[in-house]
A and B are shown apart, each in its own frame.
Chain A
Amino acid sequence: MSIGGFLLRRLGLGALAILGVSILTFWFLHLVPGDPVDHLAGGDAPPGVRLKIEHCMGLDRPPIRQFLTFLGHVVDGTLGNQCRNGDPSGPTVADRVLEVMPNTLWLALCGMLVAVVLALPLGVVAAIRRGTWVDTLATTLSLSGISIPQMMFAPLLILWGFITLGWFPGPTEVGPLAIVLPAIGVGTHLMAMLARMTRSSMVEVLGDDYVRTARAKGLAERRVLFVHALRNALLPVITVAGLQFGSLLSGAIIIENVFSRPGLGATLVDAIKERNYPVVQGAVLVIAAIYVLVNMAVDLAYGLADPRIRRA
């Protein structure tokens, strides 16, 4: 299949998946007992305010119309109104998403950086010293990265970096250093999968003919490892990293929660809790779209980088 055809099919399937997620969310929100107006207005709000919010959310119209209205707001890019006090000209859902997006993006980037910096040496060392205690140690270290729950690790980071040492800002504080602890929290978790991928990919590549050729040519071992082997071994690692980045953009919920960082994930969780239909619907759409697009970009980049895959 040509690249264009492949792209079109993936885009179509992706759009289908996003539409599916949206319909599921919509259906689900309407299944849920509990009045969204109660949550937004408060139980003892005057009837006028309640009516305004109800009208703003479109709850006074039939469900099909509501969904079509939502689709319309997807097209015009506002994703609908937040309807905080029933003011139809108030801030839109898109405003809210754009407001928190830089935080999420920054955390994802820094977390990814920590993960890569930790994972590459661990994986490479484990692959070179395969079967020795170094391998066991490195593998165990990376495995514990996924096994230690962030619910324990993140508070301990605060305890260590903020309370005991006092080197880093605590939750809700801002400043250039405020990203350090959350990034470590996110990074150590991602590190595990990357390190394992690096190790197995490196092991595979080290057994390949061109590595033997490079050694036979008498190249320095360091050059063989880092120029010949690692560069080729990195392909699948980049794929995994890309996929992880996609899920990071949808929010590291636990880390955002512990460090009180406003992000996309935290916004969605809050919106779900307060039953703010428009915000839930909009945030879900954005997250699903990011997910689908990043997955597609990763597939595509992989195909471009490795001609063997394109042909297959």
Chain B
Amino acid sequence: MIDLKDVQNNYLAIDFFLSMSCNKDCHYCTSYTLEQRNLTVDMEFLKKTLYYLRNYKTRCNILGGEPGLIKNLPEVIEEIKSNPNHVCEVLSNSTVRRRYPKVLTDPDIIYVEHFILDFYEHEISLLGPKSYDFHDENEFNNYNLVIKTPNFEKYKHLYPEAMEKLDHKNTLWKEFNGRAPDFQEIRLNAQAAEIDRKMCAAFPMVPVINFENQNLVHCSKKFANNAITSKEFEITQENVDKMMNFRLFKYENYCVTCTEYVQPKGHFPLKKYASLLNK
């Protein structure tokens, strides 16, 4: 069974944007289109990409768009899982829970369901069908991902029961970042220090394999933002080797103004860099 801590400490994460199509229009997200397109993954391209990554401990995050809309998702997951160096993670708005429930019962897949959790005065707005509640504590690697939106910060004290349900090891908390409009009442996270942004640029929180254009993209945040296109690279063995050894990506112009949250104690802990560079 996969140990999330081990994956977080020893693996580099790459986003697999299988398709940009989604069935929701979450206010904080710019990484989607409601147009339904590219819903079948090109398996040849996937196999080629995974082959280039074969020697690296990689956490392959399947998202987009909404992976639950992908017609051959089980095949994609099996292909990723076939290499012991690769861990498969699925990030869904709960469509996967409805359409591919087997994903949730496989402890070798990290399944993360994200909740907007916009706490208003009169209700909690959940992403996905209302019939689904939060994941309870479990050993199947199913996680709630809660995004701390401005409304969450403002109204969370009004919902102690919901907060109690989320208070366990299978809840991941995500800081609200600079992609959203400027909310004046809530203090957004200040821009990370330059050195942290430089370290992030060398290997971003998540670079992207874009399955629509079949290329490698520097940074998921800028890529999803659409305001400035993130730098693109051809997928070749040479580029993948450089990327996984922190030699492909540079501190770009858009990193200068980036407001994505980076932990002040470091983009990755030194221990993780040591573990990756020692290989």
Partners in one complex: no
- B interface vs A, CB < 8 Å? none
- A interface vs B, CB < 8 Å? none
